[in-house]
A and B are shown apart, each in its own frame.
Chain A
Amino acid sequence: MKQQYIDKFLIFLIALLMVFAIFLQVTTYNSTQNLQNAEIERSKLYAKKIVTLLRLATSDNIEKTLDEKLYLRDGINKVLYAFLTEQYKYIFLLKKDSKNKYRFLADGSQKDTIPYKEYFFPKSTQFDKVYESQKMQLLTQGDENEELWVSLVYPVMNDKGVEALLVLDLSKEYAAYLQTFNSPLMKVIRFMQWFLALSSLLLIFLAYRYYKAREVLTKDALTLANTKFYLNEFFYTHKVDNYYFILMDIDDFKLINQRHNRQIGDAVLRSFVERLNINLPKKSSIIRLSGSEFLTLIPKKETKGFKAFVESLYSSLVNSSYSVHKKEVAISLSMTAIDTPNDVRKIDNILRLLDEKLLKIKKTGKNRLEILKNISIAEVRYTSMDYIKDALEHERFTCLYQPICSSDSKEIVKYEVLVRMIDRDDKTKLVTPKYFLNTIRCTRQYTKLSKFVLSEVFSTLNKYPSIELSMNLDLDDLDNEDMMQLINEYLTSYKENASRLTFEIIEENEIYDYKKVNNIFAQLRRYGSKIAIDDFGSGYANYTYLSRLDVDIIKLDANFVYDLENRPKEAKIVIESIQSLASKLKCQVIAEFVHSEEIYMMFKEIGVEFVQGYYLGKPKALKEYLLEI
């Protein structure tokens, strides 16, 4: 699950807990209120009973009766005392005199009983209100009174109206006692509140720590550019297709460090980023991917004329030297940029395309800018690991066959097996390996694909005993134990067909251990298979291979075709020399990319024995060629 969703879920969970705690608190408060209200209702009934008793003892005029019958004063006090249970702090009887002053008529307190007709000055006007309204009033005493919770002022009526006031004071202790009914719940709530408060504090603390840690993780201390961490995080909340991407690498940066020193090198990097910042539009970001490799994200909205902008940026970065520590340091820069197609969702796909392009620039002279143009969303998708994995799982791979012919008769002598991925949405669309092979190299998917090709090759050889096949094999695969084991298993299982198979070795890197390679070639040859060197004359595939490796066939690089078209005289001499050398070494020569009759005739005249190319046959399903024959 993405981090942002986890964060949102946690915040939601804490908010939910807070709401739950508030709900519990409100419910508990209401429950306590209900208990207290019930108690007040009970007190009203109490007051009514007391008044009934008073009436029985004093007929219809309490004051007059008590004035006349002194013995009754104590009796009434005792009656009130009898009602003084744990919930009541005080019960007493008041009367307003002719001067509107309140006086005690009776007091239920056994200790320090208030004398008859002592003055009493109520703070609240509610007492007067009872006289006026002839209705009971409730007085909440508030925090300033430490003893009393609520007072019930009950009118004692006679024919003329309110004769006296019966006051029942409910104690604070009793209110606290009522609250104890809900105290276990209150404890849980308080615990929850503390827990939530502490959790919130912890969250704030963690957020602060995260912010600080993030700052360290997302900012490169040397150049102040962003780091890869920032890149990953950035596209949690931003759409990839809203940005242009430029990948650049300062060529041979190690040499700058060597020629000058590390401090100068660091200063160059800082100046480079500063210059980049000046030249980039608003809201762009710079990410330092590695030592001298930078990626920039440019919002599409901020840039018009992407190509012109990138070219201008490139020249501004390389056309003048960097002045650091009183030294002028010139740099060369390899740069590639992409106008991201709409609907691209994953940054990895874009980075892969840029990486491949930059690698190509680096391998072919460095110090230049190449813009990836007209890249379609489909092409981006073809480089996606998920897409390729899905294709393998759903068997959306197939093999095509391109004929290799005798140059004398144009007769097909063998076929080169070429693997293709089938587009998910358009089954007629076949995708060449240049899109997907680099993505899956060195992964389990690569082994899976190799297994598919080997299975296809050997099943075809088995099915058609008269044909020969040729399949590509990367030199790096020979170093891979799993791959070699797989090939050996197939060779052993189908050893009767192995002699009709040629392994075309393609290489990306220079060979250092020729002995080891020859040993592997010997394994491949065990049952009669042949070894061909692909793209001979380009990169590392040169004359050294002929002298050091045991090969059966050499396949000429496409550049020879280009040379034949542009510098035919010189090209013919070189090809003739290769042909002659190969003949002496008992190697066959195959010319590839023969796309016209003119080129075919040239190779034929030179004496190249075998030819392959669109002129002789495009990659097709094998059945189509077999039907033609």
Chain B
Amino acid sequence: MKKLIIILLLLYGQAYALEVRSTLKLYHHLFSSMSSKKSVNVYVEDVEYANIFVKSKYINLVSDVDKADFILVTTDKMLMKLNTKHMSNDTIIITNKYSHMTQSDKIVGAFYYRKGRKQFLFVKPRLEEHNVTLPSMYKKYIVDEL
């Protein structure tokens, strides 16, 4: 019986690990496409994302917005806070909501789900403003304006 419980726990752990791994893989690719740094500083307030990013060697979580290479906006509250703050061009803001892209020009790109499908969205002028050139696989997600 003990063995069975251990096996079930391991299987559950494996499934969770896969979830973490796929999310990390996606953000690793996204960040490394926009930055040439060996490791990136990321500012995120969402605990769920923070718990995932903390497992990465490539991502360093920072508590200071000014020290961040990337800021991941997950709430309207955070968006409002950032809108009032002057941000350096070196800091790239991304979001997990389409609506945030329409609400703030500071946000360069978004990763979100629509109708059960993964979606990326990048606005060309905002990319240019931050001197970001995306690899070809992201080209089809770039729009001129919203």
Q: Taking beta carbons and an 8 Å cutoff, which residues of A are in contact with B?
A: 89-90, 92, 99, 101, 114, 118-123, 141, 145-148, 167, 169
Contact = CB atoms under 8 A, between A and B. Distances in A.
Contact of A101 (B118, B119, B143): B143
Contacts of B114: 114, 118, 120
A432 to B, nearest CB: 74
B140 interface: yes
Contacts of A101: 143
24 contacts: A89-B115, A90-B115, A90-B116, A99-B144, A101-B143, A114-B115, A118-B98, A118-B114, A119-B98, A119-B143, A119-B146, A120-B115, A120-B119, A121-B120, A121-B121, A121-B141, A122-B117, A123-B118, A141-B116, A146-B116, A147-B116, A148-B116, A167-B115, A169-B115
Nearest to B120: A121
Interface in B95-137: 98, 114-121
B144 A169 contact: no
A169 B140 contact: no
B131 to A, nearest CB: 23
A119 B121 contact: yes
Contacts, number: 38
A491 B119 CA distance: 114
Contacts of B146: 119
A121 B121 CA distance: 8
Most chain A CB atoms below 10 A, which of B115, B117, B121, B143:
B115
A145 B117 contact: yes
A121 B140 contact: yes
Interface of B: 98, 114-121, 140-141, 143-144, 146
Contact of B116 (A99, A114, A169): A169
Most chain A CB atoms below 10 A, which of B116, B118, B119, B146:
B116
Contacts of B119: 119-121
- Classify the interface of chain A: helix, strand, loop or mixed: loop
Contacts of B117: 122-123, 145, 148
A531 B131 CA distance: 132
Interface pairs A-B: 7 shortest CB-CB: A147-B116, A90-B115, A148-B116, A121-B119, A121-B141, A145-B116, A119-B143
Nearest to B115: A90
A335 B79 CA distance: 106
A118 B99 CA distance: 10
Nearest to A109: B115
B143 A89 contact: no
Nearest to B119: A121
A99 B143 CA distance: 9
A439 to B, nearest CB: 61
A123 B146 CA distance: 20
B95 to A, nearest CB: 14
Contacts of B118: 123
Contact of B115 (A92, A99, A146): A92
A590 to B, nearest CB: 88
A119 B119 CA distance: 9
Given A89-B116, A120-B119, A145-B116, 14 more contacts: A99-B143, A101-B143, A114-B115, A118-B98, A119-B98, A119-B119, A119-B121, A119-B146, A120-B114, A120-B115, A121-B119, A122-B117, A123-B117, A167-B115
Contacts of A122: 117
Contacts of A123: 117-118
B109 to A, nearest CB: 12
Nearest to A167: B115
Contacts of B98: 118-119
Contacts of A89: 115-116
A101 B118 CA distance: 16
